[in-house]
Chains A and B, each alone.
Chain A
Amino acid sequence: MEIPLSQLGNLLGPISEGDVVLVETEGEVTADFLLRTVEENRGKAQLLFVVPKGAPEVRNPLKSQKDVQLLILGKDIDTDRLYELLRTIRNLSEGALIVTIRLDSLFLKRDEKSVYLFLEDLASLVQEKNLILLMTIDKRNVSSRQMAMFENLSTHVVDTMERITDSRVVHLLRVKKSPKGSTGFYTMNVKDGKIILQKPGP
């Protein structure tokens, strides 16, 4: 299974079926990242994208993609009926890739306990069905306690952040959790959906 984190391969180690990959962001999920995910997996695995309502920059690039099942939270699946999402996932074929964008939006509608129980079932289902789950979370929207919920259920956690240095925005990335261990920060650039990493200078 390939996901556009392949440049992180050496850092993350292999991503196997049953794994949950959490990417903590500070807002932006680029369209080319999503398209690259589709491209790299087209024909290899069933693809399900779950995106929040009211995020056209995420939704629109996926709309016209063949072989992609796109579910909009709050439209196709009601956030009050999370069991319907699990039911959809339960019917995916083995090895399918599920990408959920900004699942933190659940906290706006549901209490912590409900979200945690849902995430627990989601992670169990991913293992049980040999699926791969790639989740992105906007860390500005969640508390450290809520973030811990996501991290505890993930096999791999990638942390990204923005810093301003000499009036320049610098994107940083580190592996926060992985069977292979964690890493320090790297500078990150996204180009054509590919993540290019460099060790920070001295």
Chain B
Amino acid sequence: MDVKKRIPTGVPGLDKMIHDGLIPGRVYLVKGGPGLGKTTLAIQFLMEGVRNGEDVLYITLEESLEMVHEDMKSFGFDLKNPKFHGIDATPVSRKTYLFEDIHYAEFAESLEKFIPAVEKRLKEYQISRVAVDPITMLRLTVNDELTYRRLFIDLIKLFADYEATVVITSDIGSSYSFGIEDYLTSGVIELRRYDVGGKALKGIRVTKFRGSPFDEDVRPYAFTDTGIEVYASERMYEKSTR
């Protein structure tokens, strides 16, 4: 029996679905299409750590850190908090931290710098929570599947070495249903749109959660003033999904 204390995600409804939170030291995948709240969920997870006095690390690979900071203000999340450490690894950012002066085309070539830079942060600040948002960017950048797999496995190992609890986000693309991320992570949380009477509703589903029972039903969720709220006791009342 796992007696480790669970890690609250910052979304009480989601915690209820996974029986009180994430298992510490593990890596979880949050999948979803655009606009469904992957980044919000990742930031909410990190800010919960900040609230508990933990040092947390956010690695953004698509939107600039500044843009995420601006967006998250509307939920009351202050990414300028000294406990919140950001790595802006966006290839098109002017202020790329890891890949300064490297253009988009050169992004793949600079990946070898990625893991050491992440490790530096993990070590320096004793990071307990990490969010990588989104991993899709790495997948798209690395042409060679084997290289990507190696990179992903190295990342997982690195996080395990530092016992960080990690949320990795991923866009659900049409090119693949299950990627290596689905298999190598301890849990998979899907954010999806559901068509109900011509309206799009948002639903969240846990499809995998190693080491613990979990709620397998789709639950509705909504964006509120304080981030994502999951209605863990309610149902979507819709049979088909998109």
- Cβ distance A134 to chain B, nearest Cβ, rounded Å: 22
What CA separation (Å) do A84 and B220 show in the bound complex? 9
A82 at the interface (CB under 8 A from B): yes
Among listed A24-32, A107-115, A160-168, interface-contacting one: A107-115
Q: Determine which of B196, B197, B235 lies in contact with A121 in the assembled complex, contact meaning CB atoms within 8 Å.
A: B235
Residues of chain A from 77 to 130 with CB closer than 8 A to chain B in the complex: 78-84, 86-87, 90, 109-111, 113-115, 117-118, 121
Q: How many A-B residue pairs have CB under 8 A?
A: 40
What CA separation (Å) do A202 and B16 show in the bound complex? 62
What CA separation (Å) do A55 and B194 show in the bound complex? 29
Which residue in chain B gives the minimum CB-CB distance to A114? B237
B45 at the interface (CB under 8 A from A): no
What CA separation (Å) do A145 and B236 show in the bound complex? 23
Q: Determine which of B199, B231, B234, B239 lies in contact with A114 in the assembled complex, contact meaning CB atoms within 8 Å.
A: B239
What CA separation (Å) do A32 and B128 show in the bound complex? 62
Q: Determine which of A87, A90, A110 lies in contact with B237 in the assembled complex, contact meaning CB atoms within 8 Å.
A: A110
What CA separation (Å) do A111 and B197 show in the bound complex? 9
Kindly list chain A residues whose C-beta atoms are within 8 Å of the C-beta of B233: 86-87, 90
B87 at the interface (CB under 8 A from A): no
Kindly list chain A residues whose C-beta atoms are within 8 Å of the C-beta of B238: 114
- A83 touching B235, Cβ below 8 Å: yes
Report the interface size for chain B: residues with CB under 8 A from the other chain.
13
Known: A110-B237, A114-B237. A83 touches B197 (CB 8 A): no
Known: A110-B237, A114-B239, A121-B235. A81 touches B197 (CB 8 A): no
A146-169 CB mask vs B (1 if < 8 Å, else 0) is: 000000000000000000000000
B201 at the interface (CB under 8 A from A): yes
- Cβ distance A92 to chain B, nearest Cβ, rounded Å: 14
Kindly list chain B residues whose C-beta atoms are within 8 Å of the C-beta of A86: 233-234
- B197 touching A80, Cβ below 8 Å: yes
- A118 touching B231, Cβ below 8 Å: no
Kindly list chain B residues whose C-beta atoms are within 8 Å of the C-beta of A78: 199
Known: A79-B197, A86-B233. 20 other contacts (CB 8 A): A80-B201, A81-B220, A83-B220, A83-B231, A83-B234, A83-B235, A83-B237, A84-B234, A86-B234, A87-B231, A87-B233, A87-B234, A90-B233, A110-B196, A110-B237, A111-B239, A114-B196, A114-B237, A114-B238, A118-B237
Q: CB within 8 Å of B: which residues of A?
A: 78-84, 86-87, 90, 109-111, 113-115, 117-118, 121
